[in-house]
Structures are given as C-alpha cells and as structure tokens.
Structure 1
Amino acid sequence: MIIFDFDQTLVDTSSVEHLRAARNWKAVMASIHELPVYDGIAELLQDLHEAGQTLAIVTKSPDMVPKEFIKLHRWPIDIVVGYHQVIRKKPHPEGLNLAMSKAGASSKDTYHVGDQAQDTEASRNAGVVAIGSAWGCVDIDELIESGPDAIFSSVVELHDYFRAELGA
C-alpha cells in the first residue's frame, strides 16, 4: 500500500495556502481547477495501481479537496482520509492507521510519501516506510532532519524507486 500526503506532494497548493490557513474551503474548492498537479504524478499513480498497489491519501485538509482531484484526473485512489475522519492529526498515526485498516494492509507493506517532518513522524509512529517528497517541500532542511527512509527531489526519482522496490 502507498499512502500519499496531498498538499505539496501530489498537488502544488501553495497559491491557496492562505485560504487553507484561514479554513476558507469554499474558496479553495473554487480555485481547484487552477492548482497544478506535479509532473509525473498521474503516471506514477497509474503504474502503482497497475502493479497491484492500493493507493490512499491522508491529509490534514477536508477530504473534499483530494476527492475532487481524484474525480477530475481519474486517479486510481479509493481511500481518502481527511480532517474530519480523524480525531488526532499528523504526526499522530491515526490517519495512516485508518487508511491501512480500510485497505486491509499491514504496516510492514506500507509506504507513506509526504513533504513535511510531521509526515515522517507519522510514518514512524505507524511503523511504515517514510518517504520524503522534496519537490514541493517548503522547508527542505526540516524534512531532511526528520530522517525519512528515503527522500526524493523529483517525482521521476520516486517513480524509479518504486519500480525498483515494487516493480511499478
């Protein structure tokens, strides 16, 4: 199973960060068509899906934002855990554990891809492989210092890693 963070990992949401911080989700949703997906994400998700991997998104945002992207881009992601599905947010592992439970996956076969130190910490707390996505990262030094199992500066590098690890 591969669990992705959403903001700054799959989609560049930096232009609406001020709206997210203000919890103006209506304005975020109105801007959704303007938010760019990082190059290579669609291919990565499709290849992982075709290799038999269950894909999920765990985000601190409400689930309506990633669900709209899944619909718009026809991403093969069936599990989305957002703000309203958990009591404790990252770095607590509740969201990751819920996604794994929904998929029937074990922590030893799960990877979590995220752009922040709290993603690494959540991965550690859930016992899954922590992967740092530096391509949209706001604070690369903090991500590096958090000590993910692997860190990649591009989606292409991550894709190559999963090809080697999983045949995807």
Structure 2
Amino acid sequence: MKRAVLFDLDGVLVDSRSAQLATLAGFATSALGRRVTVADLPAHAASTPRQRVMADLGLQGEINEDRWDAATATATLSCQVFQYVRETLTALRAFGVATGVITLRSRRRLPWLLPPDILALVDTVVCYEDATPKPAPDGLLLALDQLGVAPSEAVFVGDLETDVHAARAAGVIAVGAGWGFAGPEALAQAGADVVLPHSLDITAALLLLVGIGQRSEEAKRS
C-alpha cells in the first residue's frame, strides 16, 4: 500500500518568516513611495494575504508582479531550509513513502526558496497556479492523484489554520508544524490531528503516522 507525506513550504520546510516580512515591507516602500519598515506592517502580516496587508497600508488595486518579484527575490536570498528537511525527505524516500509540496508560491519562484538537491528529493510539487489555493483541498488532492496515493494513506504537514482546514477537507491526517507561522495553540484550535511543537524527531513521528514506524518496531520485537 503506497503512502505519502505532503508538506507546506513557507514556515514548514523553509524558514521564511523574516523574508516574507521583508518582501512585504520592500514592496510597500516601492509601491507607496515612502519608507515602510517591518515594524510598520500590520500584526500577523506574515500569515495574512498580501493583498490585505497592502490594503491596510493604503495601497489600492492590483499588486504589480514585477515589483513583487524584485522584492521577493532580494528577500529570499536569506532563506534557509530547516535542518530536519534533508534527513527527513531522505528517510521517507528510503522507506518508500512518496512526498509532495503544496505551496501558495508560484512555480517560477519555487527555486528561490528550495535548492536543487532538496527539490530532487520531492516527488511532486503543486504551486499557486496549479490548483485552487488552501483552505480548499484541491492542491492536496491533485498531489495525491499524481502520486497515486489515497487520502486515507496520507499526511499533510502545515503551519497555518488554512493548512489544517485543507487537510481535513481532503481527508488526510492534519499535522500542525508548531515551529511555523501560526504556532501550536492556533493549530490545535484549528483541529489538527497532531501538533508537533518543534521539528525534533519529526522523521520518526511521520513514519509512525503513515504506519511505517509501527511496522519497524514490530519487526524489531519479532
């Protein structure tokens, strides 16, 4: 029986909170013609849709994607994948567990955050232009269809309430990444099946959730 672990990108695989805030401030500075610092951004700006943040700052109308690209490309130069990522993706592959990433990032911006060696460990990626964004389950279901995995055999790791809602709507196990943007309490309140407060031992936890860890322990005892 084939199994899968799906991941959100920002805040889960990539430590991008500072970069997200810097992108918002840099874009706002360019678009509004005045200096906007991270401190000037609305509360919870990193986990709020960008259009709403810009509206709160006084910018009306559509976001200029060329300006957004420039701000994003500069800010994401400081991004790093979390330490657990390479080890966990490698272990999942070794146990035959398929992996996928579902992100609100566009496909052209994906390589700005994930280096080639990490992308090579992921079996499928669903980006903003591929499916209706979360909290709709469409992206998760598309990834599972591409992987040939039933929702009942899958786990989705996300760090926002919308990730939890998408997982539950798709019928997969919702795992809250407490080290990400929303925090453990918000994820628990959103209805996550499991909340991991930090990324320590995440590999063992994910293997257990997809039934691999249990089989391994049984094999050791037999």
Partner letter of residue 166 of structure 1?
I
Counterpart for residue 148 of structure 1: 192
C-alpha offsets along residues 82-125 of structure 1, whole Å, 9 cap, x if unaligned? Answer: 11111x21010010011011111110111100001111110110
C-alpha offsets along residues 120-154 of structure 1, whole Å, 9 cap, x if unaligned? Answer: 11011000010000012334332120121111022
Counterpart for residue 11 of structure 2: 8
Partner letter of residue 7 of structure 2?
F
Seq. identity, %: 26
Shift of 1:75: 4.3
Shift of 1:40: 1.2
Counterpart for residue 124 of structure 1: 168
Q: Is the 8 A contact 1:109 1:128 kept in 2?
A: yes
Q: Is the 8 A contact 2:156 2:167 kept in 1?
A: yes
C-alpha offsets along residues 54-92 of structure 1, whole Å, 9 cap, x if unaligned? Answer: 110001111233345151545410211111111x21010
Q: Which has the higher mean CA deviation after the structures are superposed, 98-107 or 61-70? A: 61-70
Aligned ranges for residues 82-121 of structure 1 at < 5 Å? 82-86=127-131, 88-121=132-165
User: Closer, same or farther in 2 for the Cα pair 1:48/1:112, shift >3 Å?
Assistant: same
Q: Which has the higher mean CA deviation after the structures are superposed, 61-70 or 91-100? A: 61-70
SS in 1 for 2:81: coil
Aligned ranges for residues 17-36 of structure 1 at < 5 Å? 17-18=20-21, 19=23, 21=50, 24-36=68-80
Aligned ranges for residues 44-55 of structure 1 at < 5 Å? 44-55=88-99
Shift of 1:53: 1.0
1:138 aligns with 2:182: yes
SS in 1 for 2:80: coil
1:79 aligns with 2:124: yes
Q: TM-score, normalised by structure 2?
A: 0.68
Q: CA separation in 1, counterparts of 2:5 and 2:109?
A: 19
Counterpart for residue 66 of structure 1: 110
Q: CA separation in 1, counterparts of 2:100 and 2:115?
A: 11
Q: CA separation in 2, counterparts of 1:139 and 1:162?
A: 19
Larger Rg: 2
SS in 2 for 1:148: coil
Shift of 1:163: 3.7
Partner letter of residue 9 of structure 1?
V
SS in 1 for 2:10: coil
Q: TM-score, normalised by structure 1?
A: 0.88
C-alpha offsets along residues 3-45 of structure 1, whole Å, 9 cap, x if unaligned? Answer: 1000000001112213263662343234444202112111011
SS in 2 for 1:155: coil
Consecutive unaligned residues of structure 1, counting only runs of 5 or more, are none
Consecutive unaligned residues of structure 2, counting only runs of 5 or more, are 25-49, 51-62, 217-222
Aligned length: 167
